[in-house]
Amino acid sequence: MKTTALSLNPFSLMMEPERVLQTMERSQQLRGLRRHKLRPLDKPLIPYTEEARASRAACDEAIERQDRQAQAQAFLLN
């Protein structure tokens, strides 16, 4: 009974990684899981609409304009 309680206690498992591996190997539920690897680059690219591209370009231009104005102000003040 005491060993069962220890094996289910997450804090005791953190202190004993060997016990974690043994518990994982004995677990029927973990063995029953389907395994497959997911890679972020496997996802299909979502195409941008022309409206989204124009909006993004306008936002980028506004940020660049603010940066140029800040640089000009800094240059004039020095």
- pLDDT for residue 64: 94
Residue 72 host element (H or E): helix 50-77
Tens digit of each residue's pLDDT, the chain (78 residues): 455 555 567 777 778 888 888 888 888 888 787 777 767 776 666 778 899 889 999 999 999 999 999 988 888 876
Tokens at 63, concatenated: 């940020």
Here the tokens at position 42 are 């496997």
For residue 6, count other CB atoms closer than 10 A to its CB. 13
Structure tokens belonging to residue 55: 């909006």
Angle value at C-alpha 17, between 12 and 22, nearest 5 degrees: 100
Domain boundaries, the chain: 1-33
